[in-house]
Amino acid sequence: MCQHQPPCPPADATDRQAAHVVASHPEQGWSLLCNGTVLFEDTGVLLPGGQSIPPHRPAVTNVPARRPRLSPGGSRRTRGRRYAPARARRTASQRPASWCSKRH
């Protein structure tokens, strides 16, 4: 019987998979839980009495792929770029004097 506090859920409970792992064999795809349940990586379960529960995977729905949004006035190639590449940037000392704005 389980010695954990609080005790692990029994094998016949709906939350049986919340029990602590006693032995894990990920290379083989299964784990033995404290309540005697064998849990498989595909979410299938083998109960202590020999009863099996098939994998319960979420239903897959066909959702159409979203097309990428283009920014106003931009193309897919330039989308997301705010500035010129690093090699094309000019430092403050490389900027022409006409670029400098003087505030009075």
40-83, pLDDT tens digit by residue? 988 889 999 889 888 876 666 666 667 766 656 555 555 555 55
Measured CA distances, 34 to 6, 13, 15, 65 (Å): 13, 13, 13, 43
pLDDT on residue 91: 62
Residue 76 maps to a domain? no
Residue 92 scores a pLDDT above 80: no
Q: How many domains does the chain have?
A: 1
Residue 28 maps to a domain? yes
Residue 19 · residue 13 · CB < 8 Å: no
Q: Which residue has the tokens 């003087």?
A: 102
Q: Nearest CA to 55 among 41, 39, 43, 37?
A: 43
Range of the domain at 30: 1-56
